[in-house]
Structure 1
Amino acid sequence: MSNPSPGLKRDPGHAITITPYPGTVTVKFGEVVVASTRNALELKEATYPPVLYVPFADIYFEHLLASDTKTRCPFKGEASYWSVTGQGEGEPDVMWTYAHPYDEVARIKDHGAFYPHKVTIDAG
């Protein structure tokens, strides 16, 4: 079933590219590693900074808890959020995912992206 992006109908010049990230990506909350992969995807969208998406298989969900937060992007779809706990502390909504992304960005399904101001992202 097709799930085209309604945003691209209004703004077909809005560029989104998704490519394999060539290095290793490690995400930490304090000293707790919450994700580590050599299979990240790099999403570049219009004038926004690039975002790294980590495959679910390389995310340590035992440190994450689904939150009630949802947002909608006209170019990617509805995002769900996850909070992190670790070292006796927590931080809300550190990761977002698209369970049913629009066709144009289908590659980010089953991947999570993290806010760099809430966790440490080492990409090399």
Structure 2
Amino acid sequence: MDVTTSTNAAPGFVKFPDYAIVLEKAGQECVATLQGRVIAKSNRAIILKESNHMPVVYFPLDDIERDTVSPSDKETFCPFKGTASYWSFGNEKNIAWSYEDPFDEMLDIKDYVAFYSDRLDAPILA
């Protein structure tokens, strides 16, 4: 993709073309549990590896338990991925986020959800 002609190009990649974000298949079943309850489980999860950050597991939206989920009004902006919307599960506020309309370079994380793994019962990846 030619980011110089894209209408939804990530400004971060334009300004810092050497910044690296790599997506790869998890290659194993990933499970997120919160207070003893499975809130996400998938064989289709992807791992996002980003410069200067720990790897993050993203679950397909279809593999998220939605019985106790509620959208939050919190949003953050990443110049490489776009605007993140946050979700709460039960009493855990803003424990998950997704990029509903990511920049063109990150379209592969659209319809995926990530969790703050340190707020879950156990790490997602063993």
TM-score w.r.t. the length of structure 2 is: 0.90
Corresponding position of 1:25 = 30
Deviations 1:78-114 (A, max 9, x none): 00000111xxxx1110000000111111100000000
For the pair 1:114 / 2:115, whether they are aligned, the reply is yes
- State the shift of 1:122 in Å: 3.0
In the alignment, structure 1 segments of 5+ residues that lack a partner are none
Q: Is the 8 A contact 1:18 1:105 kept in 2?
A: no
Count of aligned positions: 120
Q: Is the 8 A contact 2:117 2:124 kept in 1?
A: no
Identity of aligned residues (%): 36
The ranges of structure 1 where at least 4 consecutive aligned residues each deviate by more than 3 angstroms after the TM superposition are none
Q: Trace 1:1-124 onto structure 2 (pairs within 5 A).
A: 2-85=7-90, 90-120=91-121, 121-124=123-126
Q: Is the 8 A contact 2:28 2:43 kept in 1?
A: yes
Equivalent residue letter for 2:125? A
Q: Is the 8 A contact 1:41 1:52 kept in 2?
A: yes
Deviations 1:5-32 (A, max 9, x none): 0111111111011111101111111111
In the alignment, structure 2 segments of 5+ residues that lack a partner are 1-5
C-alpha RMSD over aligned residues: 1.2
Query: Could you say what secondary structure the match of 2:107 adopts?
Result: helix
- State the shift of 1:2 in Å: 4.1
Equivalent residue letter for 1:94? I
